[in-house]
Amino acid sequence: MAFIELNNIVKVFKDKNRKDKNKGGDMLAIDNVTLSLEKKEFLCLLGPSGCGKSTLLNMIAGFEHPTSGSVIVDGKPITGPGADRGMVFQQANLMPWLPVWDNIAFSLKLQGKSAAERRAAAQPFIETVKLKGFENHFPAELSGGMAQRVGIARALLQNPSVILMDEPFAALDAQTKMEMQEELVTLWQRYEGTIVFVTHSVDEALVLATKVAVMTHRPGRIRDLIDIDLARPRDTTSAEFNQYKRHVLSLIREESALAHADAIKIAA
Ligand code: ADP
Ligand code: MG
């Protein structure tokens, strides 16, 4: 049995606004996704906007439930959120009234741990995400990249066996994004668990992943699952990198064009 298994996942949302009357108000978001991942895998889920990337990630997190099919992590069926799966969102969603260290240790606060215990527990993670010296800063005093570092440290503190990331660097400037990608790869190299990372950036997926799952336009299916066999650190200017990029881009362009064609059909 693989470490993470998505078995025949189907997700239907109720959509009262949909003009496509044939679908009876139900919107098929994910159509039969099957995927398995081993420990230490770094999967990037790539696909056009609205294809169901976040929905799939949220089902692994346990925030959403499949309409049919199952998600199994480490042999256990997922029925809800758990500390074994840490989530990092596009916005860090920090508590503005707590300093960096106490945001990182937030889960321990919920468990009723003392300030001294939380402070001590947070320290190694502050160092991992390179926030030494900023422990006592408040979220409003942080740059976007620093806020995301806090979000990552907060997820790591729970010692999850899976880290789920939903476009965590999408709002960052190009330079910061590149630094964060490099740091995440370093972190992953020392990490024993699995990372599932949602992005709509082909370059980002190819810089990070051991495997890239390219999804179809809605309803989302896995169009192609590609092993990325490139040395690290990844050289985005190399011929090999660009070979992968050409292939993935051609799939994405096709799927985006099909999505636009569908949108026109539905509107007509
Ligand atoms: P992505 O992350 O790939 O952009 P999402 O997973 O957010 O896509 O959404 C996939 C589709 O499902 C979209 O059409 C979206 O509007 C729809 N959707 C997502 N969440 C809900 C929800 N809670 N209720 C109804 N529709 C939803
Ligand atoms: Mg999304």
CA of 166 to the centre of ligand 2 (A): 7
Q: Which tokens hold the place of 70?
A: 């199952």
Please state the pTM of the whole predicted model: 0.94
Q: Is residue 107 part of a domain?
A: no
Probe target for ligand 1 pocket from 15, 23, 49, 54, with the most ligand atoms within 8 Å of CB: 54
**What confidence tens digit (pLDDT) does each residue in 19-61 have?**
555 556 789 999 999 999 999 999 999 998 899 999 999 999 9
Domain range enclosing 54:
4-84+160-267
Q: Is residue 73 part of a domain?
A: yes
Q: Is residue 203 part of a domain?
A: yes
Q: Is residue 176 part of a domain?
A: yes
Q: Is residue 30 part of a domain?
A: yes
Does 218 contact ligand 1 (Cβ within 6 A)? yes
Please tell me the residue having the least CA distance from ligand 1 atom 15: 50
Number of domains present in the structure of the chain: 1
Q: Is residue 25 part of a domain?
A: yes
Probe target for ligand 1 pocket from 15, 55, 217, 266, with the most ligand atoms within 8 Å of CB: 55
CA of 112 to the centre of ligand 2 (A): 33
What is the identity of the amino acid at 260? H
Does 49 contact ligand 1 (Cβ within 6 A)? yes
CA distance 57 to 249: 22
Can you spell out the DSSP letters for 139-195?
Answer: GGGS-HHHHHHHHHHHHHHT--SEEEEESTTTTS-HHHHHHHHHHHHHHHHH--SEE
**What is the residue-level pLDDT of the chain in tens, covering all 268 positions?**
899 999 999 999 987 665 555 556 789 999 999 999 999 999 999 998 899 999 999 999 999 999 999 999 999 999 999 999 999 999 999 999 999 999 999 999 999 999 999 999 999 999 999 999 999 999 999 999 999 999 999 999 999 999 999 999 999 999 999 999 999 999 999 999 999 999 999 999 999 999 999 999 999 999 999 999 999 999 999 999 999 999 999 999 999 898 888 888 878 7
Shortest-distance atom of ligand 1 to CA 166: 2
CA of 226 to the centre of ligand 2 (A): 21
CATH number (domain holding residue 45): 3.40.50.300
Sign of CA dihedral 102, 55, 85, 41: negative
